[in-house]
Amino acid sequence: MNLFGIAAAIAFGLAAVGAGIGNGLVISRTIEGIARQPEARGMLQTQMFIGIGLVEALPVISLVMGFLLFGRS
């Protein structure tokens, strides 16, 4: 395996870990908010889905960059 393959593997792994942590934080804060104010559930869920979408942008960008690095070899 060459240097670009290792860089791609590291990028994939770190992106997956980062997205997992980010999604966990977003969802846990949403659950806390719903527990405190059940009437705001709809608004909080909408914001949670937007937040998860933004958090998931990191692995997608990392995946593209990893494939670009892997394709250079």
Supply the DSSP string of 10-66, one letter for each residue: HHHHHHHHHHHHHHHHHHHHHHHHHHH-GGGHHHHHHHHHHHHHHHHHHHHHHHHHH
What confidence tens digit (pLDDT) does each residue in 31-60 have? 999 999 999 999 999 999 999 999 999 888
In the chain, where are the structural domains located?
Answer: 3-71
Instruction: Flag whether pLDDT at 66 surpasses 90.
Output: no
Q: Decide: pTM greater than 0.75.
A: yes
**CATH no., domain 3-71:** 1.20.20.10
Query: What pLDDT was estimated at residue 1?
Result: 59
Instruction: Flag whether pLDDT at 20 surpasses 70.
Output: yes
- Residue carrying the six token digits 């070899």: 73
What confidence tens digit (pLDDT) does each residue in 4-13 have? 778 778 878 8
Query: What pLDDT was estimated at residue 73?
Result: 59
